[in-house]
Each structure stands twice: as C-alpha cells, then as structure tokens.
Amino acid sequence: MEDIGSGVTMAGVFDGHGGYATAEWLSQNFSKYIEKYWTASASPMVAATEAFLAADRKILAPKKGFMGMMGERGIGGSKCGATGAVALLHEDAAGALYLLAANAGDARVLLAGKKGVRQMTVDHVPDSEDERKRIESQNPNPNMPLVRYVGGTWRVGGLLALSRAFGDAYMKGTGQFEGIQAGSDNYSSGFGVIAEPDITNVLLTKDDSWIVVASDGLFENEIRGGGGGLSNDQVGELLQKFGGKKSCKELAAILCDAAEAAGSTDDITVVVARLD
C-alpha cells in the first residue's frame, strides 16, 4: 500500500480494456486526485467520489489545439477504458482506523478476517438489475434497449460489458460524439456508462486481518464469459491457510495461481495487505 499523504494509505487496481493507456495513467496519477480532494473535503466519501469523477474528466478531456479538437477524446482513444477499485486506510479525529473501499466497474475490494470475507465493493455490470434500471431510465429511445445480450453476455449499447468505468469516451456524453452521429439516433448524450463509484466506509476491528484488491480475473465469472476463478470465500480460505506463513506478495501470487487453476481466462491483478 502507498502512503499518499493527509494520513491516507491507498492500494488500487486498475484493469484496462480497449488498450492499456487508461489503466496505466490511473496507476500513475489517481493517488494525486485522492490526496487533492481528501484535503479539500471534510467527508472521506465525498472526497473519494470527487477523485473518481475528476480523474475521469481528465481522461476524457479533449486534446489541446485544433488537431486535438478534431480527434478522439480519451487517453488511449475513445474506446480505451479501465475499471478501478481502491482501498483507503484512514483515521478519524479520535484515532480509530477505517477502511474506505470505492470502485467503478467489476474490480473488487475484499475485507477478510476471523469472521469470514466481506465484499466491500459493488460489481458494476449491465446484467445487474440496479445498473440496468439506472441506464434504461436515461434511454431516449425505449424501443431500443441500451442494455442488450450480445456475444454471450449483457452489454451497454450492445458493446461494453461494464456499466461503470474510467474512459470509454464513446460510451459517454460528449460534444464530439465519437462513433455516434449527433441527432440521428438520439444517443448523443451517451449510453449511461459513468465513473461514479460505489463507496463503503467501515470501522476496522481486531477481527479484520486482510485487505484484497483485485481485478475481476481473480473471481469466478463463467456467466459473463470470464471463465472460472475463485469465490470470495475461497479467497478467504487461502488467506487463512497461508496467511501466517507467507508475505503479502507471496499471498497475491498464491491467489493468482489458484484462480488460473480454477479456470480463469482473464488477466489477474491482485494486491494483498495485512492489517494485524
């Protein structure tokens, strides 16, 4: 985990799609946004939300100059994006330690310990009923659902198998309408993909031992075409089995190997942090 100042320690995983540029930019820059808004806000949850949205605005900002105005928005191009999940350890005024978990997309933060495993984040996928309703509530053309089953999974616009992510300019409202002819199909305001995170902020106890931040490749996901992987409980069982013998780096490798053995066909990124 990284000490980013203002009494905050952060671990994050950014999982790219449509190229690596957005994920790489986030890995290098996102902590700066957390630090900026953490200092400016009295509320950790507000600070995290503002950091996610501001980072996404920067990713989507048109390039400067005339040629930039003519080109695609988005770092890495209009079809480049990334999911993101972050775990933030912070103290309140009385010195009590909290975990704030925030995500956009299907990367997860888990909190594991003596009482089992808790998933601290929400998987933002278009087959989630809450996400489908949110997206369709903004659909200007009810005769053409925005969430459609294509290529073996549910997709926004029939294209993107995520409902929240950084980047993906072609799925978001814009004055340039990448890939969309303004005025002809009623979708110029975007397809409902957003970078606004879901956030959980909990007081840690002596029963909490591990934080895991991981891309979706770690987890079982056959229903969405991602192949096999581990359940949250299986992650907790492996941490209990090897946690007293292995370093955090070794535990992350054990989890990756176990997910591959279980049939994961996706890329896997895992960060493990010890609390006790």
What pLDDT sits at residue 164? 97
pLDDT at 186: 46
Average pLDDT for 181-207: 78
For residues 273 and 276, give the distance between their C-alpha atoms in angstroms, rounded to a whole number: 10
* Average pLDDT of the segment spanning 41-68: 85
pLDDT tens, 249-260? 999 999 999 999
Q: What is the CATH number of the domain that holds 53?
A: 3.60.40.10
Q: Is 126 exposed, middle or buried (0-12, 13-18, 19+ CB in 10 A)?
A: buried
Q: Can you state the angle between helices 21-40 and 44-60, rounded to 10 degrees? A: 140
Average pLDDT over residues 152-171: 92
> What is the per-residue pLDDT across 162-187, written as a single tens digit (0 to 9) for each?
999 999 998 987 544 444 444 444 44
Q: What is the DSSP string of 186-217?
A: S-TTB-S-B-PPEEEEEE--TTEEEEEEE-GG
What residues form DSSP beta bridges with 99? 89, 202
Q: Using CA of residue 209, residue 2, residue 61, residue 14, what is the dihedral sign?
A: negative
Which residues touch 211 (CB under 8 Å, ≥6 apart)? 11, 87, 89, 99, 109, 110, 111, 112, 272, 273, 275
Sign of CA dihedral 39, 45, 49, 55: positive
- Structural domain count of the chain: 1
Amino acid at 128: S
Q: State the Cα torsion 257-155-22-88 to the nearest 10°.
A: -60
How confident is the model over 229-251, as a mean pLDDT? Answer: 94
Average pLDDT over residues 87-106: 94
Q: Give the CA diameter of the chain.
A: 61
Backbone phi and psi for residue 68, each to the nearest 5 degrees, phi listed first: -65, -35
CA distance 80 to 119: 27
Answer yes or no: are the C-beta atoms of 23 and 15 closer than 8 Å: yes
Confidence category of residue 72, pLDDT binned at 50, 70, 90: confident
- Prediction pTM value: 0.90
Give the tokens for residue 196: 């606004």
CB atoms within 10 A of CB 81: 35
- Which residue range(s) make up the domain with 211? 2-274
Q: For residue 156, what pLDDT is reported? A: 93
